[in-house]
A and B are shown apart, each in its own frame.
Chain A
Amino acid sequence: MIIVDNLYKRYQTSHGPGKWVLEDVSFVIPRNVSVGLVGRNGAGKSTLLRLIGGVDKPNRGHVEHRCRVSWPMGFGGGLQPSLTGRQNAKFICRIHGHEDDIPERLAYIQAFAEIGDAFDEPVKTYSSGMKSRLQFGLSLAFDFDVYISDEVTSTGDASFKQKASQAFKDLVGKSSLIMVSHSDGTLKDFCTAGIWLDKGRAHWFDHIEDALTAYKDSLNL
């Protein structure tokens, strides 16, 4: 269960505090419910994911985890560009307390990412698709109750998308997802509930279809 209570967030700009990105956002994500986030560009979807993942801190309000939550996957976050994929993977194994079984986890990550010899090249030489393959493999190598995905599949090729969706399907029942995606199909496939972000407010829908409808109606206005 994840409790988001009365969340406010704005970013510091060069001329003082910016405008509120999120205002008074509150919701509860029950156990084993996968949620899709929808909203236009700049609505605060990635910001909300980063706050839920604990990467960034809100200005007011708080996020409470009552389960193990992954770091947000997507857009190369959390990878040190000058180090190789393998070195990054080792670091992440170590901070998660898996010093003993690093070889097995590395083998799993390498097999999942399927980036070949590039696994031993610096991450700065990776394409965005290769980065998301690595990130996806990295987070799946650990057991989380909730995985946070910020359009991680959108840069992948067809075979990777296939693989990712299979991996998501295998998680059903064990873990849930919080995801941002601009593809209706992906959202409908994996999410039951939906959150529509609009003008800094969050609207909760028990069914993802209703969230998509509300979002699309707002665009036609």
Chain B
Amino acid sequence: MTPSSANSLRTSLAVTLSVWRALFLREANTRLSAGRGAAVWVLGEPILQTIIMLIIFTFLRIKVVSGIDVLAWLIIGLTFFPVFKRPGSAAQQAISANQTLFAYRQVRPVDTVFVRAFLEGFLVLLVILVIGGGAVFLFAVDLLPDDPGMMAAAFLGLWLMGLGYGLVASVAVELIPEFGKIFGIMMTPLYMTSGAILPIHNISEPYRSWVLYNPMVHGLETARAGVSSYYHVIAGTDLAYLYQVALMTIFLGLALHVRFETKLLTQ
């Protein structure tokens, strides 16, 4: 083929950007073409999950705090916790799933983690828009945000937390596979204490302060406050805390990727 001088002059930024683009399209392609009706299931599966949980919890008639519709409270919890969980879990598996691609020097383990977190974040956003839109227009749930900026800030914070978790977990499970089991065990308590489905308003002190160490509580409460300005957030809610934990985790994850890159590529 014809020689291209541009190829030899590519900066590392240009290489990284083209790798991200290629990986993103490849991942999206795999997600959308894996099996029958994959394109439908990509959004259908999380939407159905959320709807089933909604039905169950509506029948259970969980009592919730004043200032927000019960359904709106639940929908936020069920759709915003995955903003952390799905990118995090997908990114955790990124390195082992893309092992064959490290045959190309351009592709680095950290690239696969970033791309998966981006793709899942995008899909989760679509799920939120579909479920939120459906709830507002079909069932007249009061979900139109009073403060969209606050919701966006909560979304970004939870996503950054997922990215940080994915960066750390991807290295951890590659080097010490047993971590995969430990992270799996940790995820359910994290979910239950995040106030996503179980209200934590009526937990008595000092235990409520303990629950507030869970960074996701702050993201979910902020998202609810963004929907209804009358919503009573839990005392001690602080979105900055979520961002601080997220940025520290991202920093730790990046450091792990730099420190152990050779080990991740070595067989």
Among the listed A80, A87, A94, A96, which residue makes an inter-chain contact with B100, where contact means beta carbons less than 8 Å apart? Answer: A80
CB–CB B21/A57 < 8 A: no
Inter-chain contacts of A140 with B (CB < 8 A):
1
The reply on A108 being an interface residue by CB < 8 A is yes
CB–CB A78/B101 < 8 A: yes
Are A97 and B104 also in contact (CB < 8 A) when A91-B26, A143-B4 are?
no
The reply on B14 being an interface residue by CB < 8 A is yes
CB–CB B1/A97 < 8 A: no
Within the assembled complex, what's the spacing in Å between the Cα atoms of A95 and B18? 5
The reply on A45 being an interface residue by CB < 8 A is no
Inter-chain contacts of B6 with A (CB < 8 A):
97
CB–CB B102/A95 < 8 A: no
Inter-chain contacts of B30 with A (CB < 8 A):
80, 82-83
CB–CB A56/B267 < 8 A: yes
Closest Cβ–Cβ distance, residue B174 to chain A (whole Å): 12
CB–CB A92/B104 < 8 A: yes
CB–CB A78/B100 < 8 A: yes
Among the listed B21, B105, B267, which residue makes an inter-chain contact with A54, where contact means beta carbons less than 8 Å apart? Answer: B105
Within the assembled complex, what's the spacing in Å between the Cα atoms of A99 and B18? 8
CB–CB B7/A143 < 8 A: yes
CB–CB B1/A141 < 8 A: yes
Closest to A144 in B: B7
Among the listed B3, B106, B265, which residue makes an inter-chain contact with A96, where contact means beta carbons less than 8 Å apart? Answer: B106
Interface residues of B in 1-45 (CB under 8 A from A): 1-4, 6-8, 10, 14-15, 18-19, 21-23, 25-26, 29-30, 34
Are A77 and B100 also in contact (CB < 8 A) when A95-B107, A97-B7 are?
yes
The reply on A20 being an interface residue by CB < 8 A is no
The reply on A79 being an interface residue by CB < 8 A is yes
Inter-chain contacts of B104 with A (CB < 8 A):
71, 78, 92, 95
Within the assembled complex, what's the spacing in Å between the Cα atoms of A97 and B19? 8
The reply on B204 being an interface residue by CB < 8 A is no
Closest Cβ–Cβ distance, residue B117 to chain A (whole Å): 19
Inter-chain contacts of B3 with A (CB < 8 A):
143
Within the assembled complex, what's the spacing in Å between the Cα atoms of A82 and B105? 21
The reply on B266 being an interface residue by CB < 8 A is yes
The reply on A55 being an interface residue by CB < 8 A is yes
Interface residues of B in 72-106 (CB under 8 A from A): 100-106
Chain A interface residue bracket vs B: 20 to 34
Within the assembled complex, what's the spacing in Å between the Cα atoms of A98 and B106? 13
Closest to A99 in B: B18
CB–CB A82/B34 < 8 A: yes
Inter-chain contacts of A12 with B (CB < 8 A):
266-267
The reply on B188 being an interface residue by CB < 8 A is no
Inter-chain contacts of A96 with B (CB < 8 A):
7, 18, 106
The reply on A72 being an interface residue by CB < 8 A is yes
Within the assembled complex, what's the spacing in Å between the Cα atoms of A14 and B106? 29
CB–CB A97/B262 < 8 A: no
CB–CB B8/A97 < 8 A: no
The reply on A105 being an interface residue by CB < 8 A is yes
Inter-chain contacts of A169 with B (CB < 8 A):
none
Closest to B19 in A: A95
Closest Cβ–Cβ distance, residue A48 to chain B (whole Å): 14
Query: Interface digits, A98-117 against B, CB 8 Å rule (1 contact, 0 not)?
Result: 11000001001000000000
Inter-chain contacts of B26 with A (CB < 8 A):
80, 83, 87, 91
Closest Cβ–Cβ distance, residue B122 to chain A (whole Å): 19
Within the assembled complex, what's the spacing in Å between the Cα atoms of A57 and B102? 11
CB–CB A94/B4 < 8 A: no
Closest Cβ–Cβ distance, residue B246 to chain A (whole Å): 29
Further 4 A-B residue pairs, CB within 8 A, beyond A82-B34, A95-B19: A53-B103, A83-B26, A96-B18, A98-B7
Chain A residues proximal to chain B, CB less than 8 Å: 11-12, 53-57, 59, 68, 71-72, 77-83, 87, 90-92, 94-99, 105, 108, 140-143
Chain B residues proximal to chain A, CB less than 8 Å: 1-4, 6-8, 10, 14-15, 18-19, 21-23, 25-26, 29-30, 34, 100-107, 262, 265-267
Q: List 5 A-B contacts (CB under 8 A).
A: A54-B105, A79-B100, A94-B25, A95-B106, A105-B1
Interface pairs A-B: 4 shortest CB-CB: A94-B22, A78-B103, A54-B105, A95-B106
